[in-house]
Structure 1
Amino acid sequence: MSAVALVYTLFGSREAALGMARQLIEERLIGCANLLGEATSLYEWNGVLEETAEVPVLFKTTPSRRDALMERIAQLHDYEVPAILALPVEAADNAFAKWVGDQLAK
């Protein structure tokens, strides 16, 4: 098992993603976040086919904080049903994994 956990979610704006990432860093739930380029999401919501521009984000944390991170994202997210997914990490560079752990230990 890796010493790093990845949690993925999407936001309706870059500002919302940045705000969440900053808060989660301050709360020591993540070591860092990667805001990816705008994505187009297609899904059915309340019987209507939606096409929405969203900002995907990868949050890096430790396996021991993963579940707390997912719960906190759900509490703070402005979506009614946000996609919050833990992605498997088979291995991580030791120096990077140590850095992530050190960020959460401050």
Structure 2
Amino acid sequence: MEYIIVFCTTDNKENAELIAHTLVKEKLAACTNIIPQINSIYTWKEQIVQDEELLLLIKTRKELFEEVKNRILSLHNYEIPEIISVNINDGSKSYLDWIKENTTKKDCL
């Protein structure tokens, strides 16, 4: 089984918590960390912009990425939200098993 961390940023705590709670409740993520006060510098509509954002680190299974992405898109307040994933190449077996257990709907066990 393959595992990933999905990165997503947003500009307010309410949207970050909505995304995090929804993904965990729907078993699309085992855990979502919300890291406040990151400083993002990017180009938007031909302007250099600097904003304070919150970063979500979403731990899930690779096979769920499309569902996670689509659910984030349905909840996010940005026109083009950051939704990218990186593979978890290694980790403690017990933690990876925990991700699996908490991203599997009961009727799928």
**TM-score computed with the length of structure 2 as normaliser:** 0.87
For the 8 Å contact 2:37–2:52, the answer to whether it is kept is yes
Structure 1: 4+ residue segments shifted above 6 A: none
CA drift of 1:60 comes to 0.4
Matches of 2:69 and 2:77, distance apart in 1: 14
CA drift of 1:89 comes to 1.3
For the 8 Å contact 2:28–2:68, the answer to whether it is kept is yes
Opposite residue 68 of structure 1, the aligned amino acid is E
Gaps of 5+ in 2: none
Describe the superposition over 1:20-68 as per-residue Cα deviations: whole angstroms up to 9, x where unpaired: 1001111110001011131111112122221111001100001211221
Describe the superposition over 1:82-105 as per-residue Cα deviations: whole angstroms up to 9, x where unpaired: 111111211121111111111122
Paired residue for 2:63?
64
Give the number of the structure whose residues are more often strand, by fraction: 2
Opposite residue 70 of structure 1, the aligned amino acid is K
Paired residue for 1:29?
28
For the 8 Å contact 1:36–1:56, the answer to whether it is kept is yes
Residues 48-87 of structure 1 correspond to what in structure 2 (within 5 A)? 48-87=47-86
- SS of aligned partner of 1:104: coil
Percent of pairs with identical residues:
25
- The Cα RMSD (Å) is 1.4
Matches of 1:58 and 1:65, distance apart in 2: 15
Instruction: Choose 52-61 or 9-18, whichever is displaced more.
Output: 9-18
Gaps of 5+ in 1: none
For the 8 Å contact 1:4–1:61, the answer to whether it is kept is yes
**TM-score computed with the length of structure 1 as normaliser:** 0.89
Opposite residue 63 of structure 1, the aligned amino acid is K
- SS of aligned partner of 2:71: helix
